[in-house]
Structure 1
Amino acid sequence: MTFCDSKPILTPLQALARYKEDLSVRLADNSMGVLPGVIGTVYFERGSQPAVRQAILDCFDRFEEMFGEHLKGGKDTDLGKFTKRTFAGVEKIRRAILETPAHEQVSVLRSSSTDQDTAAEYSIKTLTGIAADEDYVSPKGWTASKGQESGLSYLKFNVPMDLVTTEDGITQYEGFLRYVCEKLVVHGGYGGLAQILAYSYHRYALHEWALAKRFSGLEVDSTAHLQSQEYDPISYEGESLDHMTAFYPGLHLGAKVGRWGFIKGVSWYTILGELFVERLGGEAALRKALDRPDIHIAHIGSSLLIRAGDFPRLGAPEEGLPEPYVFVNSVLRVLRDPKPDGLNLYNPHLPHTDTKNAQTWTARFDLPDAPPIPEPPTIVPYSVEHKPVRHSVPGDSPCPEAG
């Protein structure tokens, strides 16, 4: 699918020159509450396990190697203070990643900001799942074995939009995104332009939504840490999820679908894990469907990285919808949730948080004649059984799984 479009195409440099002030919020003290940036968000498995915790630390260390001159602050626990970090403070973040027990979440952040009210040009953060620390039998009869993971973990990083105004900067961004996907078993994710909100982001949610409606290439991603379940299918037996007699991580043949698993949508980079690649007929079929010179596909680790165009697009009003995004979306759109939840924490006084507006936003790259996205099955069909990925490891390496 191609179509001619005489509208201008803004490079990141041109988009930034024209719209930097529109994409920013400057506070009374001249600090920034919102900045234009480029994000990478991935959802990955086994985040409670020692080998994966080490891989997370490797990602943090690589980010430090690449951008450490900008990194000044951080947090080492979910409820801990966001502060300026000395060498000892950075080591506390590193130890938290490795030494937090498997039955507790790792929630840490490294940032160019030293407080929660200032948007960070550079940042990397993670929130992991947990593993059951003992066998559990529910009153209804379903069981969870010791070591069973609670769900997917998440890692997100951002760099300033200025970085991708040069080829070297794009190479840096892409290199780090690929490194993350090499290190972690990624089920899905995305990367592209977004507004970078201060850590205390709630006051800027309406601003984020308003600009996302104006610039189609911007991600709405301030609550990415709450979206991991969307990528994480589960199934069960029993009357309902509240009255289960058996529970299965992944999709179990003949069981009822608790969560089918969906992608958020398409961005400059769209990352698909094995489950989603299989739903599109496999890697060869997907490569054939997206066979175009400006669409780049790379198999990194357990996932496919699909890049729509040579650089991220803002989708400014004068540009219209970025055509490479529309093209990739025409193939991948069936992987989206036909009934997505709101894009931010629900607030009845803010329109952007309801399902209708979320559905409109996630469908922004759909063509007018696009058919409805199919509803997921209620029972796991025999053709799509999918269980958590298991990988071999080299000799003398720690096993990434419990048990």
Structure 2
Amino acid sequence: MEQEFNLAEELAKQPHLLEAPGNLLMKGGPEDYIGAVLCLRGTLYFKQAHTPLVREALCQCFDAFKRLAEPYLTWLWREEPPEGKPLTAYPDAKPLRDMLANMDEDYPLSFYYTSGKQSNDASAWYFDIFGQAAWEAKIGDDLSVLEFSVPLLYQEQQPLRFLQLFLDFARRLNPEQGYAGHAYNLSITNRDDNQPTEAFMAARMPGLDIGTAGLLANRPQFKPTRIKTVSWLTVLDQKRLDLVGGLDALRAQLPSSHFAFYDYGAGVVIQAGAYPYLGGDAEDPRPTPYVLLNHVLKGIRYETVGSLHGGSHDGELRLVGWSADQWLKRLDVDENEIAGWRAKLLTDEPCLNAANTLVERL
């Protein structure tokens, strides 16, 4: 009898298979550091990062993340900190609460906690706060970002912990939109040199999130009441939920056998499928639950985000302009194909159950 494939076992044996060398697809590359690493990442777009209430909520989120990740954290990067150096070894870093308490509301927040061996390594354990200053919020640029990620091995071993963490963070921060699923974390100090790796992988893995959330958040395209993308977990605040007809309308279109809804106070988190997807099957690389959710929410998706990457240096692959807009549309199918995708969901995809959903699902 053929032995059943055990993903957790294989990831434990060969964790480096999820890592890409630095500058892999750049002229003169690769270089001796980890430029990108595949992980499970959550992204939340929220407001009021300059206020004491939200800053305390961010500290509470990090407290919860540390309970899982602290043994692995190695570095703290900050962009132009008001005191101290941009790079600190994690054991030498001050507590996040203390650093925030000493920061004026008009100073932007920039904290990147990583777990790489080298300080410029991309890492799967990751916690990132990009927070807008009070003066920026007053002129309308008030969208801040929390991102956090865990290794795929951890997700395999603890399949509900990330989901619970994502929901808890949403309840603390009341985000406008967000998503969680597979992503490539890039080197903090060398993002530009590793964006071609991310673009190359995106063409082969429709389940990937792409782009640096903090750089996208306050572009003009992000101002309307829309969303960037769907994923395994997708956040809709009440305004966005109302635009798609409300919770009852969504539940009528998304079968409870494969989609779960969770109340986070300011809206809902939608779980699409029993587990995060990178791709579909040999016939079509698009994940079936994502295709169906995308179809329902397509009307509130951004038509463009400008670009997801910086410009090319030597003709290397980047998602800019038209190609970035095509990435937004990667899950689109015609209306007359939806019945086939629904049938495929019900016959081919595993159902939700107590092992892959939280008890508080609506």
- After TM superposition, the score normalised by the length of structure 1 is 0.71
- Preserved contact between residue 214 and residue 317 of structure 1 (Cα < 8 Å): no
Q: CA deviation at 1:322?
A: 0.8
Whether 2:149 is the aligned partner of 1:158: answer: yes
- Preserved contact between residue 194 and residue 218 of structure 1 (Cα < 8 Å): yes
In the alignment, residue 312 of structure 1 is paired with which amino acid? P
Count of residue pairs brought into register by the alignment: 320
In the alignment, residue 220 of structure 1 is paired with which amino acid? I
Change (3 A) 1:18 1:335: farther
In the alignment, residue 298 of structure 1 is paired with which amino acid? Y
Other structure's SS at 2:94 match: helix
- Preserved contact between residue 234 and residue 270 of structure 2 (Cα < 8 Å): yes
In the alignment, residue 90 of structure 1 is paired with which amino acid? K
Q: CA deviation at 1:116?
A: 4.1
Q: CA deviation at 1:274?
A: 1.8
Show the counterpart of 1:239. none
Other structure's SS at 1:352 match: coil
Change (3 A) 1:275 1:32: same
CA distance in 2, matches of 1:18, 1:323: 30
In the alignment, residue 205 of structure 1 is paired with which amino acid? Q
Show the counterpart of 1:130. 133
Whether 2:304 is the aligned partner of 1:339: answer: yes
In the alignment, residue 203 of structure 1 is paired with which amino acid? D
**Matched ranges for 1:234-245 at <5 A:** none
Show the counterpart of 1:121. 124
Q: CA deviation at 1:180?
A: 0.6
Structure 1 residue ranges (4+ consecutive) displaced by more than 3 angstroms after TM superposition: 10-23, 26-31, 76-80, 147-150, 230-233, 346-351, 368-371
Show the counterpart of 1:314. 278
Other structure's SS at 2:230 match: coil
Show the counterpart of 1:61. 63
CA distance in 2, matches of 1:105, 1:62: 23
Change (3 A) 1:122 1:352: same
Show the counterpart of 1:89. 93
- Preserved contact between residue 141 and residue 218 of structure 2 (Cα < 8 Å): no
Show the counterpart of 1:378. none
Unpaired segments ≥5 residues, structure 1: 1-9, 134-143, 234-258, 372-403
Show the counterpart of 2:107. 104
Q: 1:268 aligns with which of 215, 218, 232?
A: 232
Q: 2:319 aligns with which of 344, 349, 353?
A: 353
Other structure's SS at 2:214 match: helix
**Matched ranges for 1:2-401 at <5 A:** 13=8, 23-26=18-21, 31-78=33-80, 80-86=85-91, 88-91=92-95, 93-113=96-116, 115-132=118-135, 150-166=141-157, 169-200=158-189, 201-221=191-211, 223-229=212-218, 259-315=223-279, 318=282, 320-347=285-312, 349-369=315-335
Q: CA deviation at 1:267?
A: 0.9
- Structure with the bigger percentage of helix: 2
Change (3 A) 1:330 1:19: farther
CA distance in 2, matches of 1:208, 1:100: 34
Change (3 A) 1:116 1:303: farther
Deviations 1:312-342 (A, max 9, x none): 0110673621101111111011111223321
Deviations 1:364-391 (A, max 9, x none): 11114589xxxxxxxxxxxxxxxxxxxx
CA distance in 1, matches of 2:6, 2:234: 19
Show the counterpart of 1:249. none
In the alignment, residue 287 of structure 1 is paired with which amino acid? R
Other structure's SS at 1:334 match: helix
Show the counterpart of 2:358. none
Change (3 A) 1:338 1:276: same
Other structure's SS at 2:196 match: helix
- Preserved contact between residue 207 and residue 231 of structure 2 (Cα < 8 Å): yes
Q: RMSD of the TM alignment (CA)?
A: 3.0
Change (3 A) 1:24 1:113: closer
- Preserved contact between residue 231 and residue 263 of structure 1 (Cα < 8 Å): no
Change (3 A) 1:357 1:365: same
Stretch deviating more after TM superposition (279-288 or 42-51): 279-288
Show the counterpart of 1:251. none
Q: CA deviation at 1:98?
A: 3.0
Deviations 1:83-126 (A, max 9, x none): 3122x5132x4322233111111111222136542011211011
- Preserved contact between residue 310 and residue 318 of structure 2 (Cα < 8 Å): no
CA distance in 2, matches of 1:129, 1:51: 14
In the alignment, residue 59 of structure 1 is paired with which amino acid? C
Other structure's SS at 1:260 match: coil
Q: CA deviation at 1:268?
A: 0.9
